[in-house]
Amino acid sequence: MSTILNPVTDNTAPEASRPVLEAVRKAFGFVPNLFATLANSPTTLQGYTTLEGIWEKGTLTSVERQLVLLTASTENRCGYCSAAHATVAKMLKADERTVRAVRTGAPIADAKLNALVTLTRELVAARGHARQRTIDAFLAAGYTAPQVLEVLVGIGLKTISNYLDHINPTEIDAAFVAERQPAA
């Protein structure tokens, strides 16, 4: 698919996107191409970053949140987001084997994280449906019913960014390129 939107620059960004891009730059040290592309629509950029800010205040740990985002991105076959979230997960000291298992669809050795990833994978693959036994396993692993809803927020975030990448392929930033997976 061809690109219909290019990442904006400081000079080409809509005025309403500029403060949000500055906050992104402060958080990352640069503006990732995904955010620079979202910035073509201030509404979309503001909505995405607001939801992301709320998501980060949830009860899942930072590693658990990254695994939800990585799982959804992998399941949705988004190369850009998979590379970005694998990078961040590793920066947060997520186990290398866990990250690899998420990306290959293999079971995860840690039972609690496996329940989280399994629920996320199933919700994405089945378009919001999960078997009762999957939810029960998630709860039995030590998660709470409200955390099922938090997983939905992470999936919602990735639906926006993964679908953007599908309709408008995004160049993987140098900071994430080491985690790029070869084309199948």
Q: What is the mean pLDDT of residues 69-98?
A: 98
Shared domain check, 80 and 43 = no
Confidence at 3, pLDDT banded by 50, 70, 90: confident
Whether residue 183 is predicted with pLDDT greater than 70 in this model: the reply is: no
| CATH code at position 140 | 1.20.1290.10
Secondary structure of 41-76 in the HEC alphabet? CHHHHHHHHHHHHHHCCCCCCHHHHHHHHHHHHHHC
Q: What is the pLDDT of residue 2?
A: 78
Residue 22 lies in a domain: yes
Domain-embedded: residue 4: no
Tens of pLDDT, residues 111-161: 999 999 999 999 999 999 999 999 999 999 999 999 999 999 999 999 999
Does the pLDDT at position 14 exceed 90?
yes
Query: Is residue 184 scored above 80 in pLDDT?
Result: no
**74 and 146 together in one domain:** yes
